[in-house]
């Protein structure tokens, strides 16, 4: 799962460039970086928990446009799909 970490860091960087609210930017980048760190360490349960927490944070950003969070949402979707492929190769059909 560690191969997924750099892609998440890239998404966090793109997100950070597009969000003016510094507090929001720090929270989102920290959540995504935590997920990347868990993936890098190969911690399956912690990775799933961090993915959930990142999604919760992004869904509670009422004042932020969906365009601003799109890079991170897309990256999280991709990471979740790749985690499933890696952890349960028979479960992926798409």
> What's the pLDDT tens digit per position in 13-59?
776 676 677 777 788 788 888 888 888 888 889 989 999 998 888 78
pTM for the model stands at: 0.75
Residue tagged 């990256």 (tokens): 75
Pair of tokens at residue 60: 């509670």
Residue 93 has pLDDT above 60, yes or no: no
User: How many angstroms separate the Cα of 82 from the Cα of each of 2, 26, 67, 94?
Assistant: 11, 25, 23, 11
DSSP class of residue 62? T
Domain boundaries, the chain: 2-91
Cα–Cα distance for residue pair 82/72, rounded to 1 Å: 15
């Amino acid at each position: 799962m560690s191969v997924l970490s750099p892609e998440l860091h890239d998404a966090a960087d793109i997100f950070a460039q597009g969000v003016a609210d510094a507090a929001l930017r720090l929270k989102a980048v920290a959540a995504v970086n935590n997920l990347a760190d868990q993936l890098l360490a190969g911690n399956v349960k912690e990775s799933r928990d961090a993915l959930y927490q990142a999604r919760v944070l992004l869904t509670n950003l009422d004042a932020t446009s969906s365009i601003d969070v799109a890079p991170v949402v897309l990256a999280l979707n991709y990471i979740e799909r790749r985690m499933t492929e890696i952890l349960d190769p028979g479960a992926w059909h798409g």
